[in-house]
Homo-oligomer: A and B are copies of this chain.
Amino acid sequence: MQGQQQQAYDRGITIFSPDGRLYQVEYAREAVKRGSPSVGVRTAEGVVLAADKRRRSEMIEPDSVEKLHKADEHIGIASAGHVADARKLIDVARRESQVNRLRYGEPIAVETLTKTVTDFIQQYTQYGGARPFGVSLIVGGVTNGEPRLFECDPSGTPYEWRALSVGANRNDIREHLEAEYDDEMSLEDGVDLALSALTVADDEELTPEGVDLATIDAETAEYVQLPDDEIEEHLEKRDLLPSDDDEAGDDEAAGE
């Protein structure tokens, strides 16, 4: 049966299996799971996006590991999975945001942007000649003073979350989020939760360079990326800093 499954995936179109599943979409979900995790947390005061960007070699510039992207002044996107695919979707999101400003003279709503991206993704699951996107996105931002947090998965389905993670160890991290999440938490608490979530089910500890973290404050509606020293403060506060320097990653991981 292994052989049959292998045959099944090597055709160039996403179609239904006898039990009604879209194999190429599910395999794309596997590609997401191969990527290091990203986390999003929505608080009453704003949205937090955080990403594990531990590198497979210390010779890689940390800043070049693209996990957090500014889509517009008021919207950030975290990704997990196939990096080159993520870059393409980010492009779509940025262009759409600019078009909205030009056409309507106002920032695009977070939900509108999310659904534009998921509709784009859906095309790649129904027509032949291309494969689905091997990436999941967390879209976070502020619309009319209200923090919003969405997921775009490889099937092109939009979901709104209070807190979520995409990528490796998704289930463990979700349990952690569900246990620790509190509707009343401050943005600062949100940052702490996001950072602690990234350390879940990971046998190593985080360094400030191994993490990207951004917030969109509900009041300012501005995407702000935290500097390393502030991240370090948070990690210290939560006792998440590594005791020793064992920050190696997988060698030549396919996802990232």
Contacts and interface: CB of A to CB of B under 8 A. Distances in A.
Interface of A: 1-34, 57-61, 63-66, 82-85, 87-88, 91, 115, 118-119, 121-122, 124-134, 150, 155-164, 171, 174, 177-178, 181, 251-252, 254-256
A128 B178 contact: no
B157 A256 contact: yes
B33 A6 contact: no
Given A4-B6, A164-B59, A126 B26 contact: no
A70 to B, nearest CB: 15
Given A87-B122, A129-B127, A59 B6 contact: no
A125 B27 CA distance: 15
Contact of A84 (B58, B125, B177): B125
Nearest to A177: B59
A1 B3 contact: yes
Nearest to A14: B131
A163 B61 CA distance: 10
Contact of A59 (B84, B127, B163): B163
B9 A15 contact: yes
B12 A10 contact: no
Contacts of A65: 159
A137 to B, nearest CB: 14
A27 B16 contact: yes
A163 B254 CA distance: 21
A130 B130 contact: no
Contacts of A60: 159-162
Given A16-B31, A59-B174, 7 more contacts: A8-B9, A11-B13, A16-B132, A20-B27, A65-B159, A82-B155, A87-B122
